[in-house]
Structure 1
């Protein structure tokens, strides 16, 4: 007699909902970075390359803390890891206020590093927990469903940044020179920089509230003792080609995603002639397409193997980015806009595919996958260098294009589970 596959572990629906809400929460600072880049280019007078270091500092936090987060959760469990992550997240948000008062770019980078160190705990814990909270054969669908709430948070982050951080004053070169002559330009830049403080303080308070609820939630470890006697090891992980190829694919995916989103506002401003606020609205729409892609892929995966669907989407994005490079303008804007729908399936599918069959090595393996998010820190500044060299964003889109080629390979070839697999 066949038994119905459990999408969510019985008795843990509320916990699943609470953990899923974290996908929304950590998306907020991720996409607020996309607002900070053009804002700090103005208020702190940064080049594209220096502004791109926002993503570098952010992803460096993931890289440095992913492995410690995995070891802590392997020793103490998901609850402790998630609470630690939320506390670090809130602390980083609160550090934005003294950074704004000081007006020093390095202090903002430090605050972003602290936020990201907390998010390393959240992404590792929430992704791994969702994968394990039901039938293993439904892991990709379950994670895509949970990840579908991430773009809702992403849209909210851009909306918050657009409304509360961007001002309505995009000065012309003549206006800047006039303010400098009048001695008011420095005060204007200080006022613009201070706009980042209140949104981050509010976010920090919300994060602490979530930390309280997570600390009180019931986790599967309390009953099934997921903190196993057998610990994962790197020597064992090297026996799984689909795992280390997944790290490579995730590295390039984050480079493509963050690079595209970080410079999309600039791309729209350059090629569409729009103001920062209107360009920010385009980014919100791009994230809405990302959300639609996440929810729809959960349905499509009933009929198409997740990795195959990812490979098809990567092929489509290669075509769209090529159009964005060759035809900058409104055709290119809509082509780059459309890539969000098709990239939406990639992160959760790579993650779930890479940890499949790892057994007791799953938490440690997931830590390395989170570390691979450093791809955003490495590749985004390269896009800034290319853009500075050509004085245009369009040529820099070659980085996302090449990244989708790697993901295409992983979807059709590299994601097939192999090695001494666990059920």
Structure 2
């Protein structure tokens, strides 16, 4: 079959750059190369033992069949409990839904609401999939350029300037991937004031990294500070990051019942329902012992400090310390224009990622994947000794540039 049979819609997007970068690491390791992987967007911890036990019990008890499209009653109750306990947010069972990861829920939410010519407002640096999910649903992503000077945060002025009569969604991501930005109460209130003036705009709040914030930062949802916007806000979250459950593929959405029902209709015609065993595991994650989450947070604090310290003395690199998530978004403008030992010019952040992979065996993701150059995203979801070793190799490779 030739590519001529593929849809025009598909040809408007690229494979996820972060997934592709991690796949390349796997391929190079299979070839025998010892690669340090700073591309990884998932915890390196094992899933907590009580979550594993819940999955084993579910299998032993025959819970291996289709479930309600929206998720089991046990899981939806656990989601409602989690939102109340962790976020001080009150949702009912008909306002929450489980899905096969957060990404499919974002896709289904946009698919349920977007029409041709609609616009989706995305602030850079953004998670790589937001613009392409909009394109796949025949909408136009409207990218607001970010500013390192204000911590990579969307401002009310910039948001106001991007809204048009065609705006359907604005996507907020706090804590942010890749920048680590965490919005304060005052910052969210400023954005809420703008959105009140534009009632035709829906709000998608991606809060998947909520458990990992640093240096006194506090995770808040826009619904916490502006409850009047709850009726047009969809919260996306899940088990993947906070509970080291990326492979279990359980996400959830909380929002107005009309939208939740529409998402459920699409799930019924696509994935049918999330994995029944994964749902049982997620009940234990959301409603059970939260000690493993707190322990992971303590480790991330140490890893964050280790990577910041290791990169701080490398000429040509500059980093705004992240307030959340587990990434550093490193400014590499000081290395542009330099020459490699092989005589090649580092003209872009993409060139630098290639050079570091070839020269230092360290894999990173270039900032252009997140809509903002020249930057690199480095994950600190690795043990401290690997972080320090990888940063030493980056430093050595940078010293070879002239």
Report the TM-score range of the alignment, normalised by the length of the smaller protein: under 0.3
Normalised TM-score (structure 2): 0.26
* Structure whose residues are more often strand by fraction: 2
When you count helix as a share of all residues, which structure comes out higher? Answer: 1
What TM-score do the two structures reach when normalised by structure 1?
0.25
Larger RCO, structure (CA 8 Å, separation 6 or more) = 1
